[in-house]
Amino acid sequence: MCGIAACIALSSSYLRPEDDVIQNVLNSIRHRGPDNSDFYCSRSSLLLSTRLSITDPSHMADMPMTSVDGSVHLIFNGEIYNCKELNSKYGIETRLTNSDTEYILSGYQKYGSSIFSMLNGIFSIVLIDDNTNCTYVVRDPLGVKPVYLYKSNSALFVASEIKALSAFNIKLNPDKNTIYRYLVSGSYDDSLYTFFDGVISQEAGTYLKINGELISHHRYHDRNSYVDTPSNYKDTVVEFRRILSDSIVRQSNTNDFSVNISGGIDSRVLLDLLNEKERIDPETPCFTYSFDESGYDEWDDVSQLSSLFPIKPRRVVVSDVDIKDLLIESIPYLEQPFPGYPTLAKFKLFQQAYGNTGKVFLEGQGGDEISGGYKYVVGPYFMQLESSLYQMEFKKYCLANNLTEEELSSLIRNTSERLRGETLGSADGTLSSLAPYLNYEFFDLKQPSSLIPTYEVGNQLTFALDRDIYYTKLPRILRACDRTSMAFSKELRVPFLDLELVAFARSVNHQFRFRKGLHRSFFLDCLPSNLRRKGTGNFKKYVSDPQSLWLWKNNRNLINELIDDFDNLYTNAFYKKELLLPALRNTIDQPKPPRNSVFLWQFMCLEYWMRYFVIPQNK
């Protein structure tokens, strides 16, 4: 894992980067790669890299890397998991190193841009071919690794993090359209647009080809394709476990890794397969975070895992007094508004793990998304069932989840209606909007289009799953995972989001997701029954953190500080003061904690983001 940045001339103009600019850019991403930093400069391009050495720690594997014949130059952030396959299946060889970077370089020289679709991993790549005068900018199929772009009149700038673009002396202003959509619908990370005007997030599974002033966009990964899966349930479970096991073996193929765990089913599946392959022992660092609040602390469940697996979990506790400091400390790394308290907890986890572990972490992100673990997929599932199956599946679901027919009918109706709308759920499962309190004269209201495909009747459940994986839930989670881990020079790997595994899970018979009325059945049955926790068959619980409770009680002072100082807030122009302040006060003054804390978090997070990233540039 590394930090990368580049400047590509779009005309015949000669690049003359100043030394202080080069050093500023490298310094801005050095936390992503503290082991080495260097750059390559030609008449028309500048490549910069900070390296976190893992696969091949030798300096021969440092970047930028140039081919033996001197014609191809490469910077790369991420990890390629199928290097052995690239060698055995495609005849790709390395000559100077054992690094995955050289596999990409050699693969390109043999197959050209076709190599990008052969890669299984998490990656962002900038590659320059002097023979064709073409530059390629590539992002992995699921967008696990970031790629940000900024185009001026004369150059295209590329970076792993937005702060590196600022280090190129690019003045970054807030993007009003993105802020508007965030405040109205909760949407962010679902389009090409960021919270910074002119800064684009490259779409996952695509590459750009730059040849002079011509920039063309190409999709190398078809996310809508299906693969063959077994027609019976038992074989489906066996095959899913095999593919997942292979993914875990590949991603744990390092001398020193740690594991982030919780008390949930995903962590149990991850630990079970690691244990089966003898990849963990009591010396393997296992971390978990918990909140210092009754009802939101999974430590009892996590500590029980030590009786099932050879691990000694380490606990990182987040208290209400940590929240403001964590918010201030994490904003420079997260760079844009983010999901909320769970992200702050993960930031503290990596903060405490820094210096005490190796460079690689494994984590079970994505299990619910690929298998259908959330309650809001219930409506889409029943909407596309054949009429002959509807009543039978309806009764099974009621029985398995202890719901009356009226309750399930209401759930199906509400979740089906939600699927058609743009307003998204928050981390705590509620819907929220600051729309009634906005100063619409401030915003342009020319909303950038989302990448989310148009809703189509007939394939509702696939639409709901794809929406989570590619556009809404996972993109924002993956951004938070990348920034919180790389802030402390840790590479976070996500074996549940292996390319082959995601394609398989997407293609599974939908009835195998709800067998006997239980969510994500084929995933649950990967785990031996003696390792399951009671109640794991029910749908995923929304609330896993005390954000609503603490913003109402323990952290209400953070909201009150902003209310009292409203006229001096950098975000005050976004709102109608006479409408917003009473709504905020009513929420934190009510006798019970609000079920919905989203707009409180948005109000606070956006202000702290403006204070750090936007205002200093405009002074």
What is the arithmetic mean of pLDDT over 221-248? 95
| pLDDT tens, position by position, 395-406 | 999 999 999 999
Q: Name the band, by pLDDT with cuts 50, 70 and 90, for residue 448.
A: low
Record the tokens describing residue 455, joined without a space: 């809703």
Give residue 97's Cα distance to chain centre.
30
More confident residue, 56 or 381: 381
Residue 617 has a pLDDT of 58
Is residue 223 within 8 Å of residue 470, measured between CB atoms?
A: yes
Residue 164 in this model has a pLDDT that exceeds 70: yes
Q: pLDDT class for 135, splitting at 50, 70, 90? A: very high
Q: Rounded to whole angstroms, how far apart are CA atoms 366 and 502?
A: 9
- Lowest-pLDDT range, 107-116, 177-186, 230-239? 177-186
What was the pLDDT predicted at 447? Answer: 52
Distance CA 373, CA 269 (A): 14
For the entire predicted model, the pTM comes to 0.93
Q: List, for residues 24-77, the tens digit of each pLDDT value.
A: 999 999 999 999 999 999 989 999 999 998 888 888 889 999 999 999 999 999
Sheet harboring 148-151: ordered strands across?
36-41, 45-51, 2-9, 155-159, 148-151, 199-201
Question: In sequence order, which ranges of 12-97 are alpha helices (DSSP H)?
Answer: 19-28, 83-90
Task: Give the CA angle between residues 473, 478, 483 to the nearest 5°.
Answer: 135
In 3D space, the residue among 427, 410, 418 whose CA is nearest the CA of residue 547 turns out to be 427
Q: Could you tell me the two tokens for 182?
A: 């965030």
Computed over its alpha carbons, how large is the radius of gyration of the chain? 24
251-268 pLDDT, tens digit each: 998 888 999 999 889 999
Please give the share of the chain, as a percent, with pLDDT higher than 70: 92
More confident residue, 166 or 433: 166
Q: State the Cα–Cα distance between residues 492 and 560, nearest whole angstrom.
A: 36
Residue 338 neighbours by CB under 8 Å, 6+ apart: 330, 476, 479, 480, 483, 605
pLDDT at position 63 is 92
Element spanning 104, H or E:
helix 100-111
Question: Is pLDDT above 50 for 536?
Answer: no
15-24, 547-556, 607-616 — most confident range: 547-556
Residue 432 has a pLDDT of 60
Average pLDDT over residues 493-510: 95
User: Which of 52-66, 386-400, 455-469, 596-610 is the least confident region?
Assistant: 455-469
Distance between start and end Cα atoms, the chain? 34
Please state, rounded to an integer, the average pLDDT across all residues of the chain.
90
Answer yes or no: is pLDDT of 586 > 70.
yes
**pLDDT of 324 higher than 90:** yes
Q: What is the mean pLDDT of residues 185-195?
A: 87
Of 68-77, 183-192, 256-265, 383-392, the least confident: 183-192
104-111: long-range contacts (C-beta < 8 A, 24 or more apart)? 104/74, 104/76, 104/80, 105/65, 105/67, 105/72, 105/74, 106/67, 108/72, 108/74, 109/67, 109/72
pLDDT in tens, 362-374: 999 999 999 999 8
pLDDT of residue 387: 87
What crossing angle do the helices spanning 387-401 and 405-420 adopt, rounded to 10°?
A: 110
Question: Is beta strand 199-201 parallel, antiparallel or unpaired with respect to 206-211?
Answer: unpaired
d(CA 373, CA 354): 32
The residues near 85 (Cβ < 8 Å, ≥ 6 apart) are 120
- The mean pLDDT value for 328-354 works out to 95
Higher pLDDT, 111 or 415: 111
Of 602, 497, 582, 592, give the one whose Cα is nearest residue 553.
Answer: 592
Token couple for 546: 């005390």
Q: How confident is the model at residue 422 (pLDDT cuts 50, 70, 90)?
A: low
Number of Cβ within 10 Å of residue 356's Cβ equals 10
Written as six digits, the tokens of 551 are 């913003």
pLDDT band at 538 (very low <50, low <70, confident <90, very high): low
What pLDDT score was predicted for residue 133?
Answer: 93
* pLDDT value of residue 618: 53
Instruction: Supply the pLDDT for residue 428.
Output: 44
Higher-pLDDT residue of 458, 107: 107
